[in-house]
Copies of this chain bind each other. A is one copy, B any other.
Amino acid sequence: MTNPFMERAIELAVQNVRSGRGGPFGAVVVRDRRIVAEGTNVVTSVNDPTAHAEIVAIRAACSALKTFRLDDCEIFSTCEPCPMCLGAIYWARLQAVSFGGTAADASAAGFDDAFIYKQIAAPIAERSIPFRQIMRDETLGAFREWAQKPDRVRY
């Protein structure tokens, strides 16, 4: 079954490769059956390792709609979101996700998606990047400030 939003995401991904702007990924954010924002992977051309198609599209949608919540939107991405993008999708409260290729497809094309999924599931001590916890007590002071702030904006 074809879908016009996924077709547009594919078109963006192919154009992105041909133009040399970045990797073979495209995404669109949709509300009320209309595209409100588009994104492609521009990591290498913009020097931003977070500039995956989904992140770019989510940031653009929030900017266009002047909100930090996309409760009434869904996202169409040419590839299964990597852990970074999956986290962003949850934080943005998107309503639904449609994707084309899998994390394994992305890995076969030379991207680290499957590796990072494994790293996130691994205990801290077994990760390839060293993690250490320091000064926990001192950092909790910021949380206390937050709890005591009557006009804090939750999300």
Contact = CB atoms under 8 A, between A and B. Distances in A.
Interface string A1-21: 111001101100110111010
A142 B3 contact: no
B24 A47 contact: no
A6 B142 contact: no
B43 A49 contact: no
Contacts of A9: 139
Contact of A10 (B109, B116, B142): B142
Contacts of A120: 83, 86-87, 117, 120-121
A121 B118 CA distance: 9
Nearest to A23: B146
3 closest cross-chain pairs (CB), A and B: A84-B87, A100-B139, A24-B142
